[in-house]
Structure 1
Amino acid sequence: MTDPEFMDRAETLLKAVEQCCDRINDDSDADVDNQRVGGMITLTFANRSQIIINLQKPLHEVWMAAKSGGYHYRWVDGQWQDTKGQGEFFAALTSNASAQSGLALVFTA
């Protein structure tokens, strides 16, 4: 993958995360604050716990830091897949955000 291809796919991922936060806040009682600075988004939940998503441009990876640990994702077969075989990015974000917020939250591409 070239650098421009990575940036296009990564930007699409970050925009999807932001749109999901807006949808969650509009359609539920959840309060998910999302703050973006460049290639990094910080999600802050009502209980003050956070999930941080950031781009690792030289590695062509997206990293996610959550209470459960740190995860690295690469574009494989049309999805952002965990580099250690732990699944797809949005499924992991859904699981971690739901666990940290105590609410059933759904994030999709």
Structure 2
Amino acid sequence: MMIKALGTLSIVFLFGACAVFQPRIPYQLGMSESKFLRQNREAVISQLNEQKKVYRLSSDERFYILATFENGQLVSLEEKELRPQWPRQRMMEENNIYEDNSEQRQPNR
């Protein structure tokens, strides 16, 4: 009898521990604005209207999330990608190569 009670208590403790150590969800639809801001302290206001607030939250180096709140409730999440910087750098490098080649073609004076 004692072994069954101890086994039951350990199972209940195990399930309770699993509930406590679940991962924290940083945002979900319907959550309040104050809870969102408590869990995401790095969020900044991106747009502000009378009925709507949009917060910007960086998720990593290339992506960010726009969280839209209406009347204090999260109504939409949108993930965006930052523009890559490499095309601009590539164009600059090509211009430098072109300038270097044009300097070499000029006759000596």
When normalised by structure 2's length, the TM-score is 0.26
Q: Which has the higher contact order (CA 8 A, sep 6+)?
A: 1
Bigger share in strand: 1
Find the structure with the greater CA-based Rg.
2
Q: Which has the higher helix share?
A: 2
